Amino acid sequence: MDKIAIRGGTPLKGEIKISGAKNASLPLMAACLLTDKPLILENVPQLSDIESMGELLTQLGVSVDVGPDSTTLCAKDLNSTTAPYDVVRKMRASVLVLCPLVARAGEAHVSMPGGCAIGPRPIDLHLKGLEALGATITLEEGYVHAHAPNGLIGATYTFPMISVTGTENLLMAATLAKGETRLVNAAREPEVGDLADCLNAMGAKISGIGTSTLVIEGVESLNGTTHKVIGDRIEAGTYAMASALTGGNVRLRGMRLDLIPTVAAFLRQAGVQLDEEGNDILVKAPKGRLKGVDVMTEPFPGFATDLQAQWMALMCTSDGASMITETIFENRFMHVPELCRMGANITVHGSSALVRGVDKLKGAPVMATDLRASVSLVLAGLVAEGETLISRVYHLDRGYEKVEEKLRACGANIERRG
Ligand code: EPZ
């Protein structure tokens, strides 16, 4: 099982090309199920989660052709409407095939995802929304069985709490429903907007993009299109913190500040200089130590939960303290004991963690537990004295394309060990 070894202390200098967004690519790939025409996606990152989605779609009968510059998906001949447990349990985002399958084929049989490291993560909102659109849902032997043999009917569905993939799933279903659908209290994450833009290019009629109310006029069928996946704002936020933490000066290529509005505001509060130049963000660390800044995770445009672990690593050596409150997931502090092994001073009380800045972190053997926790250990390793050895880095490979290459190109002393 691969490990990553880092010797800290080198300020990052240079540039990092931001890859296409994992969390935009996954729903966009599922959207191919809505049409029998080819969907061509550009800027899809090479990640294990993307491969898993490709495998699932192939099992359903989709032709998936991964080229050097684009991925072509065509669901002309579907031969299954079942997403099996062994695939879904590996990647929860598999649930994104549920609604497109029902909209296109009138039925879907998708394994319940089960919990994951960061929380139980139910899919009840996906199911309630699909029922609101006229599907009948039964749960048997760990599978969701959804049927709408006469097609879906447009309706108004209000999310009792904001759900990113719940919004994406129902948005896809609504494009082929008869009549108008209104999704109220919809997620406003940029990845939802990217999906909506692609669906409109395929012939859907979606308005309110970027707001919390999406209005969809159903159409008979959708065409194919060519769509470029937006940049990964979570990757960009992660590398911005890597530059800030190491006293660095890094250009992030292919990212805009309006995709990370709250993270940018807090980085500036901590003393980091952020500038935009064309389609790039320049991240310059302050001369002295960073200031401690409190954050609370919230749905977009609030501070992204997917950047919480990284912010915690950033604050470990700050001049002061930072109260970090996680409001989205129930168990997203598993990086705390690992950071403490490196000398961090962090106390957890329920959904809040108090980080008191220490003078320095010391390298140590640590273990990755989930995708974003694993990258927080990389950040800590970049600034720690001595060597940090991170195990279970398969978590990292789910969401960060070529992480060692990108960091090594900016001077980091980092290598992968088999
Ligand atoms: C998406 O997950 C992202 N994944 C997550 O990124 C991200 O952390 C999360 O949104 C929040 O921003 C993808 O886009 C593939 P939610 P999702 O539905 O859609 C509860 C990463 O690291 N909920 O917005 O599954 C849920 O338990 C991953 O890239 C229900 O109760 O998250 C959570 O507490 C991790 N019932 C909250 O809502 C439901 O039916 C928000 O979840 C759905 C969700």
Q: Is the pLDDT of residue 32 over 80?
A: yes
Span from the CA of 11 to the centroid of ligand 1 (angstroms): 34
Closest residue to atom 39 of ligand 1, CA basis: 123
Span from the CA of 121 to the centroid of ligand 1 (angstroms): 7
Tokens of 141: 């032997």
Average pLDDT on 346-365 reads: 97
**CB-based burial label for 236 (10 Å; 0-12, 13-18, 19+):** buried
Chain mean pLDDT for the chain: 96
Per-residue pLDDT tens over the stretch 37-58: 999 999 999 999 999 999 999 9
Q: How many Å separate Cα 366 from the centre of its chain?
A: 23
Q: What share of the chain is helix, strand, coil (3-state, %, to 5)?
A: 35, 30, 40
With a 6 A CB cut-off, is 371 part of the ligand 1 pocket?
Answer: yes
Q: What is the pTM of this model?
A: 0.97
Please give the backbone phi and psi of residue 350, each rounded to the nearest 5 degrees, phi first: 65, -120
Closest residue to atom 25 of ligand 1, CA basis: 165
Q: For a substitution probing ligand 1, which of 48, 238, 328, 351 has the most ligand atoms within 8 Å of its CB?
A: 328
Which alpha helices (DSSP H) does 355-411 contain, by range? 371-383, 394-397, 403-408
Nearest atom within ligand 1 for CA of residue 187: 24
Average pLDDT on 227-233 reads: 98
What is the band of 21 on the pLDDT scale with cuts at 50, 70, 90? very high
Per-residue pLDDT tens over the stretch 299-355: 999 999 999 999 999 999 999 999 999 999 988 999 999 999 999 999 999 999 999
What pLDDT score does 331 carry?
Answer: 86
What pLDDT score does 224 carry?
Answer: 98
213-217, strands of its sheet edge to edge: 156-158, 180-184, 213-217, 205-207
Angle of CA points 357, 361, 364, to nearest 5°: 145
What is the band of 115 on the pLDDT scale with cuts at 50, 70, 90? low
With a 6 A CB cut-off, is 109 part of the ligand 1 pocket?
Answer: no
Closest-CA residue to 308 (of 290, 335, 284): 335
What pLDDT score does 117 carry?
Answer: 72
Q: Is the pLDDT of residue 120 over 80?
A: no
Farthest-apart Cα atoms in the chain, separation: 65
What pLDDT score does 271 carry?
Answer: 98
Closest residue to atom 18 of ligand 1, CA basis: 163
Nearest atom within ligand 1 for CA of residue 121: 27
Lowest mean pLDDT among 15-24, 109-118, 145-154, 357-366: 109-118
Nearest atom within ligand 1 for CA of residue 123: 40
Span from the CA of 22 to the centroid of ligand 1 (angstroms): 14
Angle of CA points 106, 222, 41, to nearest 5°: 110
Nearest atom within ligand 1 for CA of residue 124: 40
Tokens of 346: 């962090």
With a 6 A CB cut-off, is 125 part of the ligand 1 pocket?
Answer: yes
In Å, how far are 15, 257, 360, 407 from 280, measured between CA atoms? Answer: 10, 9, 31, 17
Rounded Cα distance between 63 and 361, Å, is: 48
Span from the CA of 284 to the centroid of ligand 1 (angstroms): 31
Residue bearing the bigger pLDDT, 369 or 103: 103
What pLDDT score does 320 carry?
Answer: 94
Residue bearing the bigger pLDDT, 36 or 115: 36
With a 6 A CB cut-off, is 308 part of the ligand 1 pocket?
Answer: no
Nearest atom within ligand 1 for CA of residue 330: 34
Encoded amino acid at 395, one letter: H
With a 6 A CB cut-off, is 161 part of the ligand 1 pocket?
Answer: yes
Rounded Cα distance between 381 and 361, Å, is: 8
Q: Which residues contact 406 (CB under 8 A, 6 or more apart)?
A: 16, 17, 239
What pLDDT score does 183 carry?
Answer: 98
Specify whether the CB–CB gap between 14 and 288 falls below 8 A.
no
Closest residue to atom 20 of ligand 1, CA basis: 121
Closest-CA residue to 277 (of 248, 257, 301, 249): 257
Rounded Cα distance between 325 and 338, Å, is: 18
What is the band of 118 on the pLDDT scale with cuts at 50, 70, 90? confident
Q: For a substitution probing ligand 1, which of 92, 161, 164, 259 has the most ligand atoms within 8 Å of its CB?
A: 164
Radius of gyration of the chain (CA): 21
**CB-based burial label for 323 (10 Å; 0-12, 13-18, 19+):** middle
What pLDDT score does 90 carry?
Answer: 84
Q: For a substitution probing ligand 1, which of 165, 232, 263 has the most ligand atoms within 8 Å of its CB?
A: 165
Average pLDDT on 77-90 reads: 91
What pLDDT score does 326 carry?
Answer: 97
Q: Is the pLDDT of residue 401 over 90?
A: yes
With a 6 A CB cut-off, is 300 part of the ligand 1 pocket?
Answer: no
What pLDDT score does 330 carry?
Answer: 87
Residues marked active site are found at 116
With a 6 A CB cut-off, is 167 part of the ligand 1 pocket?
Answer: no
What pLDDT score does 26 carry?
Answer: 98
Q: For a substitution probing ligand 1, which of 44, 163, 398 has the most ligand atoms within 8 Å of its CB?
A: 163
Please give the backbone phi and psi of residue 384, each rounded to the nearest 5 degrees, phi first: -75, 155
What pLDDT score does 253 carry?
Answer: 98
Rounded Cα distance between 260 and 360, Å, is: 28
Three-state secondary-structure class, residue 415: strand
What pLDDT score does 418 carry?
Answer: 82
Q: Is the pLDDT of residue 236 over 80?
A: yes
What pLDDT score does 160 carry?
Answer: 97
Three-state secondary-structure class, residue 9: coil
Rounded Cα distance between 31 and 237, Å, is: 27
With a 6 A CB cut-off, is 214 part of the ligand 1 pocket?
Answer: no
Nearest atom within ligand 1 for CA of residue 305: 8
Tokens of 70: 């684009």
With a 6 A CB cut-off, is 164 part of the ligand 1 pocket?
Answer: yes
Strand partners, 138: 145
